[in-house]
Amino acid sequence: MAGSIVIGRHDLHKLKGLGYLISTLSVLLLAVVSWSNAQKDALLTACLLAGAATSIVGMFCRWLSYELEKRMNEKQAQEPQARPQRAKTRRRAGK
């Protein structure tokens, strides 16, 4: 395919991480803009802080899930030769 872009898994993982960092920055910037009005009312302040915090924690959880999935996939990719040997050993032990 002429002109196609090849992106590896590592690049995709970095791109996801960058996206979450940008989203976190966005949440913080929006919170700063809203702060002057929110601080006039305790409920608004609490909602602003809770909303920003939960958004950031949610993005962290999603990033962490991608990180864990990546590590699991890397670990599985390193173990394919060990699995058939274990299966043969089990079959022999069962005979």
Rounded CA-CA distance 42/70 in Å is 42
Rounded CA-CA distance 67/13 in Å is 8
Q: What is the pLDDT of residue 25?
A: 95
Q: What is the pLDDT of residue 84?
A: 54
Continuous segment of H or E residues that includes residue 30: helix 9-38
Please write the tens of the pLDDT for every residue from 43-88. 999 999 999 999 999 999 998 998 898 888 888 888 866 555 555 5
Residue 81, helix vs strand vs coil: coil
Q: What is the mean pLDDT of the chain?
A: 83
- Of 54, 65, 69, the residue nearest 24 (C-alpha): 54
At 41, which amino acid appears?
A: D
Q: Give helix 42-78 / helix 9-38 axis angle, nearest 10°.
A: 170
Please write the tens of the pLDDT for every residue from 1-35. 556 777 777 788 788 889 999 999 999 999 999 99
